[in-house]
Amino acid sequence: MSSQLNIYIDKGTDFRLTVELFDENDSALPIADISFYGTLKKLYSTKPVAEIEFEKNGGNDQDTDPTLDSITLVLDADTTSQLKPGKYQYDVLMKKAGPAGEISKVVEGIAFVISTITEV
């Protein structure tokens, strides 16, 4: 079962949010071999307006260290500058490696895009 988390994104800025992941026993979830996917849409039934990028966090060697246990959701300033202010839906899915390739939802919620006053 996924967590609900509403997020606020300032238009034209870099957005980063770190999410710690746990298994069913509340232990850190090793994610070195897990793939993550995320999309931002105006409504569930519409086309995506942005794809969320991910960084895996924890451990010393991010390519091979199984102690990676959190992800950072990333939208760069170029991406957020293309979003119109308003309310969007988003979710993040994870797909485990291997033949079974279990897919589950990590987090979902509403993303509020807020106008910024200052331009850089």
pLDDT in tens, 79-115: 999 999 999 999 999 998 888 889 999 999 999 999 9
pLDDT of residue 37 exceeding 80, the answer is: yes
Q: In sequence order, which residues have a C-beta less than 8 Å from that of residue 67 and are 6 or more positions away?
A: 28, 30, 58, 59
Residue 51: phi and psi, rounded to 5, are -100, 135
State percent of the chain over pLDDT 90. Answer: 64
Q: pLDDT band for position 66 (50/70/90)?
A: low
Give mean pLDDT, residues 23-43: 88
Place of tokens 């993040």: 92
Structure token digits, residue 16 = 């980063």
pLDDT of residue 68: 79
Is residue 74 over pLDDT 90?
yes
CATH of 3-114, one of 1.10.490.10, 3.30.1330.10, 3.90.930.12, 2.60.40.10: 2.60.40.10
Report domain extents, the chain.
3-114
Cα 90 to its chain centre, rounded Å, is 8
Higher pLDDT, 17 or 23: 17
Specify the long-range contacts of residues 91-96, CB closer than 8 Å, at least 24 apart: 91/2, 91/38, 91/39, 92/19, 92/36, 92/37, 92/38, 92/52, 92/54, 93/36, 93/37, 93/38, 94/21, 94/31, 94/34, 94/35, 94/36, 94/37, 95/34, 95/35, 95/36, 95/37, 96/33, 96/34
Residue 5 has pLDDT above 60, yes or no: yes
